[in-house]
Structure 1
Amino acid sequence: MRSFKRNDLKSSEIPLGEITWNRSDGRLYDAAHREIELRHQTREVLSALAEAPGRTLGRDALIEAVWSGRAVSSDSVAQCIAEIRRALGDTGKKIVETVPREGYRLNPTPTPARPRRRAYATAALLLAIAAGLALWGGRPGSPAAPPVIAILPFDDYSPQEHRGLLSDAVSENIIAALARNPQLTVIARTSSAQFRGAGLGIAEIADRLGADYIVEGSQQYDGSRLRIVAQLIDGKTEAHLWSDEMDVTLDDLLEANSRISARIANAVGFSIVDTAEAKMSAGDVSALMISNAAQSRIMRNFTRENLLINLEEQDLAIRDYPESAWGYLGQALALRNGLRHGWIEGEEAATRERMERLARKAVELDPNNFMAHHALGRVLMYNKDVEAAIGAFRRGAELNPSSSMVLIGLADALIFTGETEQALDVVAQVEQIDPLYGFSLAWTKAWALWQADECEMALETFLGTPTMPVAAYKDLAAIHHCLGNAEKASEAIDTYLAQNPTYTLARIKEVETGMWTAPGALDRWLGAMAAVGVPPD
């Protein structure tokens, strides 16, 4: 962040609240005369808007001005607009205004009264302290933004009878340990795992993930001991910066991962925060493998049949590994999904009670397991204790800030309570740490945009995800209804109801009342569902 000196506003300067845009140098400055850093593309979008203050610019015009007409989605524009609003503190969207079905308009504010010199000095001191804290511990010449690290799935060189036992437990635990350090940005597992066996060079993988550093390695388990080899590689030069090898028992796996994480952090100039670890025994590893396989199956194909298979597998995990949290939390999540989509038969009140009991048992068995808190958050939210659910999700995010699943759960809860802008901020965070995440992120984002009455952007988000399951088509119907596309709305809801015939207006009221408390949102949803053809009961 650099400073500059000025007297009064010049003709090239546009006041935007307490912030000033300088058209002559294309920079944004705060009240303390310091530049506010923006990504290049975000700065270019603001520059285009500032060239025509008070006029509406469409998304196509912005894409042409900033990306020279290259094929990019309008999500890229929306992301830049969100970053501009955050930089300006424009929570009310009054400075950068969305003009429905047209685009965006920059509304300069009246020139503010000049603050007293003492106020400037105080603000500058606070900013200097903040900058000093942010850079404390960094290596010389390190960038102001946190370094971005991606941990690739470790190659498994175990004998055939043990191969696959640990799956991604080694790399996933390193991700969780590193992500708890606020000085680092760690790419989530779901994005990193897509490069397993891809045959690409390190520099290309780093470029696709937006990573400064790549960690790769191997694991070899012989039934009693585990050999781990890890190395840290510069994402641009492919230079090997650090490597290590250790030989441990399975019970010492997490301790070994902590050592690896600390050494990786030290190699890029930081120190790992000392935090509690989730436990990991041989039984936990086995139960985790069952849970991961079940989750992977439902993410690939979100259907009732796959959910019922998951329930059976989680029953086995609880039976065979009763001291592991993974079977309990997996069962709780599966039951919640089943109830949410009408895929489970039987007494609903008993199922609600059982899934909460299972989630709380998981937290009791392993209070430092981020997924246990995620499961509890999902269950509490469905049981209409959304504020408590938000607390559970936040605890899960503290334990593993790189977990997209936990963060998406938090975003969903925030949407239910009407904190839509906060939810979209969480979505943007997931997009940064997990750029290749699957359909559930786009589903949550589209829902949030619908609630914010940004229905064109919601539709673009939805249609930009070709793997969107039929279970999300009720949202597609609501978005089309919002845009006045009656025929497409009817097609979407017909597709949804063909697989979910128990979805009725009465069922919506029963499930959502008390959970969806955002002012007016549930009534708007019910109106949209009635209009597109959802039966009353």
Structure 2
Amino acid sequence: MRYLFEDYALDPDRRELYRGANVVPVAPQVFDLLDYLIRNRERVVSKDDLINAIWNGRSVSDAALTTRLNVARSAVGDAGEKQRLIKTLPRKGFRFIGPVREEGGDSPAVPDNSVEPEKPTPTLPDKPSIAVLPFENMSGDPEQEYFADGMVEEITTALSRFKWLFVIARNSSFTFKGKAVDIKEVGRRLGVRYVLEGSVRKAAGKVRIAGQLIDAVTGAHLWADRFERDLIDVFALQDEVTIAVVSAIEPKMLQAEIALATRRRPENLTAYDYFLRALPQYYLATREGFAEGIRLAHRALELDPRFGSAAALAGDCHVTNVVLGYANDPQFDRKEAVRLARLALSIDDSDPETLARASVISAFIVGDSEAEIEMADRAVALNPNSWRTWNNRGYVYRVAGLPEEALRSFERAVRMSPVDPLLYMTFLGIGAALIELGRFDEAIVVLKKALRQNPSYVPACRCLASAFAHLGRDAEAHDEAARALEIDPAFTISAFIARGAGKNVRLLIEGLRKAGLPE
């Protein structure tokens, strides 16, 4: 049995909450709370009912119960002031009041191509636009999945260097991974004219890529081909696919331009393999994921000390550990982040991904705004199609105390990857910039978007508490502050400032104090 409401679906058997085609991450206790309220939606559920059902009768404070309810509301796009789905009845209890449709059978909880109705679909850009969908792993070995994903990432990066193309970022394209999709629907949701799909087989020292280019507006197949090379020629294989795609879109494309569109490749293919394995760990955006990403990236550097992209990735993991409070030894992570960023730039200071990562590392740790802005601007100039270059430029300008320019960058990042599962990071940047501009109501809207996408993203909880506090909405500010401390009980404002996240956010910090977060 599945429960469908608005554009959500709760699947008790799989213990998953869906929004559209995407799984909404929720803690087990929050899932149980939603499940219980929905199953008992015909009546008012008392506090004692919830404690008995969710906490097995253990003693639970009103603050803890309120925090769990707020997290559950955020997970389904509700809010304490509107109570559109979960209503609090004073001195009586709680009730799920949203219309619910029950669905049985073995079909997926939601169609793979379902759409979030409240989101406007992007318009087509005024230049050729393309998304590269995840390629199917034909190796017969699930452990080779990372290799197929890595090939797609490389081809996407190569395509994005052509400034006359508009290329959707990897993370948005990967929301369709493992799903049977309608290409026209993919094009509509991502706002692109062309879609590239295909498969990868890696076996017996050879790599084979099959691909087809489709016009997402008409559904017409424009090009299809198959490429095979020895594993040692994998980079030449990626170039061949890229050239074939751009030539199909623009017949006058000169193949020589591909040389300008490729970053420096590692000399050691085993190092490259470790780098490909590190990428999905980085995308997890967890403490454990960053630790494993650092380990794998360092292994790649041991095998190829001139592998700049691996150095930049490791540095990015180290600085994120510091900013998010994951670091066991913040000073070590700071020094490593700066060292690796400088190493990456010494190897190749013209690679846009390296420049983007290095600019943010420097912004949070070094604080040379002029140099950091120059790096971020160069990254965007070299690759204006990258979510990362625009997103990182936004953070550099935000840290430099230029929130209006930061907003412009963040908005461009959203367009480059409109269904990116990491957009909550971009939304956080937008919210922080809006707070510094005194636009607290707008900040609340976008920070709630961040928390709908990732209900446990504690930086968004803190920013939301600050915005509420500035508007005098004290109860909501204190609720968000309590929620933030439940996730990160060791947080203090002074530590937040010391680790670099508190640069040029005077109003944000003022709001944190008003919300009651510890000094």
TM-score of the alignment, normalized to the shorter chain, above 0.5: yes
Q: Is 2:466 the counterpart of 1:478?
A: yes
Identity %: 22
CA distance in 1, matches of 2:330, 2:426: 31
**Local SS of the residue matching 2:201:** strand
CA distance in 1, matches of 2:474, 2:514: 9
Match of 1:45 in 2: none
Match of 1:140 in 2: none
**Local SS of the residue matching 2:446:** helix
1:287–1:309 CA distance, 2 compared to 1 (3 A): closer
Shift of 1:314: 4.2
Alignment gaps of 5+ in structure 2: 1-115
CA distance in 1, matches of 2:233, 2:300: 22
Shift of 1:169: 2.3
CA distance in 2, matches of 1:362, 1:210: 34
Match of 2:354 in 1: 372
1:189–1:378 CA distance, 2 compared to 1 (3 A): same
Match of 1:147 in 2: 128
1:223-245 per-position Cα deviation (integer Å, ceiling 9, x unaligned): 42222222211112211111232
Shift of 1:533: 1.2
Stretch moving more, 462-471 or 179-188: 462-471
Match of 1:397 in 2: 380
The residue correspondences of 1:241-320 to structure 2 (distance < 5 A) are 241-269=222-250, 271=253, 273-274=257-258, 275-281=260-266, 282-298=269-285, 302=286, 304-319=287-302
**Local SS of the residue matching 2:126:** coil
The residue correspondences of 1:15-414 to structure 2 (distance < 5 A) are 145-160=126-141, 163-269=144-250, 271=253, 273-274=257-258, 275-281=260-266, 282-298=269-285, 302=286, 304-319=287-302, 322-346=305-329, 348=331, 350-367=332-349, 369-383=351-365, 384-414=367-397
CA contact (8 A) 2:323 2:500 kept: no
TM-score by length of 1: 0.66
CA contact (8 A) 1:175 1:402 kept: no
CA distance in 1, matches of 2:377, 2:212: 31
CA distance in 2, matches of 1:213, 1:347: 45
- AA partner of residue 525 (structure 1): L
C-alpha RMSD of matched pairs (Å): 3.0
CA distance in 2, matches of 1:308, 1:259: 35
Shift of 1:405: 2.4
1:315-340 per-position Cα deviation (integer Å, ceiling 9, x unaligned): 44444554533543333122211221
1:151–1:527 CA distance, 2 compared to 1 (3 A): same
For 2:434, which of 449, 454, 460 is the aligned residue? 449
CA contact (8 A) 2:435 2:508 kept: no
- AA partner of residue 283 (structure 1): T
- AA partner of residue 517 (structure 2): V
- AA partner of residue 411 (structure 2): A
CA distance in 2, matches of 1:509, 1:203: 47
1:321–1:162 CA distance, 2 compared to 1 (3 A): farther
CA contact (8 A) 1:321 1:327 kept: no
**Local SS of the residue matching 1:401:** coil
CA contact (8 A) 1:276 1:368 kept: no
Match of 1:507 in 2: 495
Match of 1:423 in 2: 406
- AA partner of residue 440 (structure 1): M
- AA partner of residue 493 (structure 1): A
1:178-205 per-position Cα deviation (integer Å, ceiling 9, x unaligned): 2222221111111111112211221122
Alignment gaps of 5+ in structure 1: 1-70, 81-142
Stretch moving more, 325-334 or 236-245: 325-334
**Local SS of the residue matching 2:426:** helix
1:467-509 per-position Cα deviation (integer Å, ceiling 9, x unaligned): 3312321111112123221111112122223343443333344
1:315–1:181 CA distance, 2 compared to 1 (3 A): closer
**Local SS of the residue matching 2:517:** coil
CA distance in 2, matches of 1:373, 1:312: 22
Q: Is 2:450 the counterpart of 1:467?
A: no
CA distance in 2, matches of 1:474, 1:407: 24
**Local SS of the residue matching 1:280:** coil
Q: Which runs of structure 1 show a deviation greater than 6 angstroms over 4 or more consecutive aligned residues? A: none
- AA partner of residue 296 (structure 1): Y
CA contact (8 A) 2:208 2:227 kept: yes
Match of 1:132 in 2: none
Shift of 1:382: 1.3
1:310–1:356 CA distance, 2 compared to 1 (3 A): same
CA contact (8 A) 2:125 2:191 kept: no
CA distance in 1, matches of 2:146, 2:487: 36
Q: Kindly indicate whether structure 1 or structure 2 has the higher relative contact order, using CA contacts under 8 Å at least 6 residues apart.
A: 2
Q: Is 2:443 the counterpart of 1:458?
A: yes
Shift of 1:451: 2.2
CA distance in 1, matches of 2:228, 2:279: 25
CA distance in 2, matches of 1:72, 1:155: 29
CA distance in 2, matches of 1:374, 1:231: 31
Greater gyration radius: 1
- AA partner of residue 375 (structure 1): R
Q: Is 2:476 the counterpart of 1:488?
A: yes
CA distance in 1, matches of 2:496, 2:137: 47
CA contact (8 A) 1:152 1:195 kept: yes
1:257–1:458 CA distance, 2 compared to 1 (3 A): same
Shift of 1:357: 0.8
- AA partner of residue 392 (structure 2): G
- AA partner of residue 487 (structure 1): A
- AA partner of residue 379 (structure 1): I
- AA partner of residue 216 (structure 1): E
